[in-house]
Amino acid sequence: MMEGGGMSDRADRRPHPLLELTRVRVLEFVREPEALFWVFVFPVLLALALGVAFRNRPAERVRVAVTGEGVAVARMAGELGGEPSLEVQRLDPPAAAEALRKGRVDVLVEASGSGLTYRFDPTRPEGTAARLAVDDALQRARGRVDPVETHVLPATGAGGRYIDFLIPGLVGLNLMGSGMWGIGFSVVVARTRKLLKRFAVTPMRRSQYLASYALSRLLFLTPEIAAIVGFGWLVFGVEVRGSLAALTTVSLAGAFAFAGLGLLVAARPTTIEAVSGWMNLVMLPMWVLSGSFFSSDRFPDAFQPVIKLLPLTALNDALRAVMNDGAPLHATWSELLVLAVWGAASFVLALKLFRWK
């Protein structure tokens, strides 16, 4: 039952199904304006906001409150005030206590008949440092001589700032978020529209359908990462110490892992509400534990083995190794392995569990 069609159509006689499925994924994505916002604009805005909020300020001055009456106290306050690193104010005791309590001053110097008393909060790093700075200033002013000669050379370098730590974390978060939400929604919407059922009666290979999601994610990788990293470089001077090839490979591994995980989460749910619930359940722990915004080392040691095995942790660690430390690709082999296993295992399981009707 072959029919002679137009000659021009013979060329597009049989497009490859996997390529065609991937092409369709891409077209659907770029034609959805909201998706473009969430994937490209949102992480950049987030980086901007956090970068500004946590920006490196010039070394902050230590804030000192001095209490007590009398000429001697006034002289001491003047000596301290002469120190460029100290910001001194004189307050009466109740006001000073209040200021210390609320964190408006870092240390309180109480001058009374029995001498000087330092009041500060030792659990705050600023408190301890403040007390040392004030003490140092006071002792030197009264003639302390240091036996060892020292020079002070301040070194503020890019690479150690919060924004340098943050950008790779945001890349990781973005790969996870856009990968999982993008796939999760698309699949469940197709399921509710009975489109999966329609595909199920065709000879389309199920594995190719799933693979097309992973492939399209890999394609989108480059612009997504370029947006965040490019932004970080332009606005904050965040550098990529390692090679771009290493960065790309790590990112590909991450995208692959989350594509698999996204397919697994979306394999059974029949409603958007259900898949959203599952997505949140899977992603929220990683938002908190995986070190995107602050180091995962802050969690107790007992948690660490589990944390390290989470895909987002592995991705963030590998990204930081490449971007901040300039590590070569092979140094991240353990993280890449974690990602590869998550991706492959999720994909296989998703294929088995996938609900087509």
> Do residues 329 and 249 lie in contact, with contact meaning Cβ atoms separated by under 8 Å?
yes
Task: Compute the least distance from the CB of residue 229 to other proteins, in Å.
Answer: 29
Phi and psi of 119, rounded to 5°?
-110, 125
Closer to other proteins by CB, 11 or 155: give it. 11
Q: How many CA atoms lie within 13 A of 229 on its CB side?
A: 23
Closer to other proteins by CB, 3 or 301: give it. 3
Closer to other proteins by CB, 124 or 193: give it. 193
Closer to other proteins by CB, 32 or 239: give it. 32
Task: Compute the least distance from the CB of residue 24 to other proteins, in Å.
Answer: 5
**In Å, what is the CA distance from 161 to each residue of 56, 57, 109, 167, 324?**
7, 10, 32, 11, 10
Closer to other proteins by CB, 12 or 301: give it. 12
Task: Compute the least distance from the CB of residue 6 to other proteins, in Å.
Answer: 6
Sheet holding 62-67, edge to edge: 86-90, 62-67, 107-112, 115-119
CA distance 55 to 62: 18
CA distance 179 to 165: 22
- Interface positions with other proteins (CB under 8 A): 1-3, 5-6, 9-10, 12-17, 19-21, 24, 27-28, 31-32, 190, 193-195, 197-198, 200-204, 357
Nearest to 68 by CA among 90, 47, 46, 94: 90
Task: Compute the least distance from the CB of residue 173 to other proteins, in Å.
Answer: 27
Closer to other proteins by CB, 8 or 114: give it. 8
Task: Compute the least distance from the CB of residue 11 to other proteins, in Å.
Answer: 10
Closer to other proteins by CB, 138 or 189: give it. 189
Element (H, E) at 227: helix 206-231
Q: What is the DSSP string of 18-66?
A: HHHHHHHHHHHHHT-HHHHIIIIIHHHHHHHHHHHHTPPPSPPPEEEEE
- What is the sign, positive or negative, of the torsion defined by CA atoms of 171, 173, 179, 183? negative
CA distance 326 to 323: 6
Through-space distance between the first and last CA atoms of the chain, rounded to whole angstroms:
31
Structure tokens at 40: 């490209």
Task: Compute the least distance from the CB of residue 201 to other proteins, in Å.
Answer: 4
Closer to other proteins by CB, 1 or 145: give it. 1
